[in-house]
């Protein structure tokens, strides 16, 4: 699954209400999903933290190789790229938007060997109310990748897996941080 590689804007345990469709056309499998937080009970507690719209497709290129793509948009409330803050660094009231695209591949050179990989790229923005130190973020580019090599039946009925991955990381962008000026000679800020 795409969410196995720690993309903070996708999770398989989101909660809320959603609708998904998985279909197949020939050798191509595709997936459409929409998820939204819902109010639960009379006290107004929300179940789920993000609204997401995601599309993914995966196709068998040959009998032993596949290629897939994923793309979508995620809106988070009170968080940014899966992070939450407290006290002066609170993200309460934050409205974060992330657009992302990714690809994955699978290749099986033999019956006992499998190679797979995934890569994602995202662009995020955040706005929030004026209280607190963090007031927003613009054009935050993030990326992640994973590469896996599996060998089956090496010592009987077992599997050895070697993997290299980079969890989602911020590559560039800016965040607005409010700092006070130095005080004047009378101690006023």
Tell me, what's the pLDDT at 42?
A: 73
Do 137 and 176 form a contact (C-beta atoms < 8 A)?
A: yes
* pLDDT (tens place) for every residue of the chain, 189 residues total: 444 444 556 666 666 788 889 999 988 999 998 988 887 777 777 776 788 899 999 999 999 999 999 999 999 888 888 788 888 888 888 899 999 999 999 999 999 999 999 999 999 999 988 777 888 899 999 999 999 999 999 888 899 999 999 988 999 999 988 877 777 778 776
CA gap 106, 116 in Å, rounded: 4
| Residue 7 forms part of a structural domain | no
Name the pairing type of β-strands 65-77 and 95-110: antiparallel
Q: Which two tokens stand for residue 66?
A: 């596949």
Distance of CA 185 to the CA centre of its chain: 49
Query: Which residues span the domain enclosing 116?
Result: 49-177
| Residue 54 forms part of a structural domain | yes
Do 148 and 116 form a contact (C-beta atoms < 8 A)?
A: yes
| Residue 41 forms part of a structural domain | no
| Residue 12 forms part of a structural domain | no
| Residue 34 forms part of a structural domain | no
Domain count, the chain: 1
| Residue 26 forms part of a structural domain | no
| Residue 39 forms part of a structural domain | no
Tell me, what's the pLDDT at 2?
A: 47
| Residue 161 forms part of a structural domain | yes
List, in sequence order, every residue forming a beta bridge with 105; answer none if it has no partner.
Answer: 67, 117
CA gap 69, 126 in Å, rounded: 26
Distance of CA 93 to the CA centre of its chain: 20
Identify the burial level of 113 via C-beta atoms within 10 angstroms of its C-beta, where 0-12 means exposed, 13-18 middle and 19 or more buried.
middle
- Which residues, 6 or more positions from 142, have their beta carbon under 8 angstroms from its beta carbon? 81, 121, 122, 123, 124, 168, 169, 170, 171
SS3 state of residue 63: coil
Tell me, what's the pLDDT at 5?
A: 44
């Amino acid at each position: 699954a795409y969410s196995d590689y720690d993309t903070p804007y996708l999770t398989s345990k989101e909660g809320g209400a959603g609708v998904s469709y998985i279909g197949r056309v020939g050798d191509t499998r595709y997936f459409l999903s929409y998820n939204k937080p819902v109010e639960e009970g009379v006290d107004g507690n929300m179940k789920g933290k993000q609204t997401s719209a995601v599309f993914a497709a995966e196709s068998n290129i040959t009998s032993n190789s596949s290629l897939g793509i994923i793309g979508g948009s995620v809106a988070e409330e009170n968080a940014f790229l899966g992070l939450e803050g407290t006290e002066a660094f609170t993200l309460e009231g934050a409205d974060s938007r992330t657009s992302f695209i990714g690809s994955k591949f699978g290749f099986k050179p033999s019956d006992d060997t499998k190679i797979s990989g995934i890569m994602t790229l995202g662009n995020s923005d955040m706005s929030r109310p004026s209280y607190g130190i963090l007031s927003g973020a613009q054009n935050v580019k993030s990326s992640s990748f994973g590469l896996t090599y599996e060998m089956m039946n090496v010592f009987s009925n077992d599997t050895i897996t070697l993997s290299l991955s980079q969890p989602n990381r911020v590559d560039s962008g800016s965040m607005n941080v409010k700092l006070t000026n130095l005080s004047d000679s009378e101690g006023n800020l």
